[in-house]
């Protein structure tokens, strides 16, 4: 290449595909981390699902109608775009919502609640139990926690002492969780 020739410009389709693929993997990663934050936030499941699904539907409809040529208007392409956009944009938006609610929570006003177990199941392997699944309810919002056997000896604990702080968006967050007898 001689110095007189301009530098090659990236192909617009390749750049769009690279951006879409990057957003897809960022969305999957954000969804993974959002699941962890969801366990520490008392947010109703229907609100979390709405935050996760609605952006994917809106963006898919906009992209499908506006940017896609007519020859690609097929149901399978719409479904593929819907799944990818929901995982991409929905995951990132849900993580952002939960992260702001959790990390900007009012940690000065933590209240401790003794919350009884509604139901407890023990998972066994080779004759000894390894995990307990504990169901609780706080302000009519059900939560389920998996607790290793080292933290919860079988039959000895019946409630949690939970430190709960008001979240930034108004959804309470769990600051501490300790099994109680």
Say which residues have a Cβ less than 8 Å from residue 124's Cβ, sequence separation at least 6.
130
Contact 4, 66 (CB under 8 A): no
Which pTM was predicted?
0.82
For 16, the token pair is 């769009």
Q: What is the pLDDT, as a whole number, of residue 22?
A: 92
Q: What is the pLDDT, as a whole number, of residue 123?
A: 75
Between CA 130 and CA 113 the distance in angstroms is: 27
Give the residue ranges of the chain where pLDDT is below 50: none
Q: What is the pLDDT, as a whole number, of residue 6?
A: 66
Measure Cα distances from 94 to 3, 64, 91, 120, 167 in Å: 48, 23, 5, 29, 15
| Model confidence pLDDT, tens digit, residues 2-54 | 566 665 566 777 887 888 889 999 999 999 999 999 999 999 999 999 999 99
Q: What is the pLDDT, as a whole number, of residue 96?
A: 97
Q: What is the pLDDT, as a whole number, of residue 51?
A: 96
Q: What is the pLDDT, as a whole number, of residue 154?
A: 62
Contact 113, 162 (CB under 8 A): yes
Q: What is the pLDDT, as a whole number, of residue 119?
A: 83
Say which residues have a Cβ less than 8 Å from residue 37's Cβ, sequence separation at least 6.
95, 98, 99, 102
Contact 178, 136 (CB under 8 A): no
Which H or E run includes 121? strand 119-125
């Amino acid at each position: 290449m001689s110095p007189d020739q301009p530098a090659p410009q990236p192909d617009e389709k390749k750049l769009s595909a690279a951006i879409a693929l990057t957003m897809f993997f960022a969305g999957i990663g954000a969804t993974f981390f959002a699941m962890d934050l969801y366990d520490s936030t008392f947010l109703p499941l229907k609100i979390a699902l709405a935050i996760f699904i609605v952006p994917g539907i809106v963006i898919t409809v906009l992209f499908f109608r506006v940017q896609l040529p007519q020859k690609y208007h097929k149901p399978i392409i719409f479904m593929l775009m819907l799944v990818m956009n929901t995982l991409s944009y929905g995951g990132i938006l849900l993580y952002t919502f939960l992260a702001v609610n959790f990390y900007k929570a009012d940690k000065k006003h933590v209240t401790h609640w003794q919350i009884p177990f509604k139901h407890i199941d023990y998972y066994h392997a080779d004759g000894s139990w390894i995990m307990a699944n504990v169901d609780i309810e706080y302000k009519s919002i059900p939560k389920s926690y998996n607790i290793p056997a080292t933290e919860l000896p079988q039959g000895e604990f019946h409630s949690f002492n939970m430190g709960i702080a008001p979240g930034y968006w108004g959804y309470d967050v769990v600051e501490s969780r300790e099994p109680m007898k």
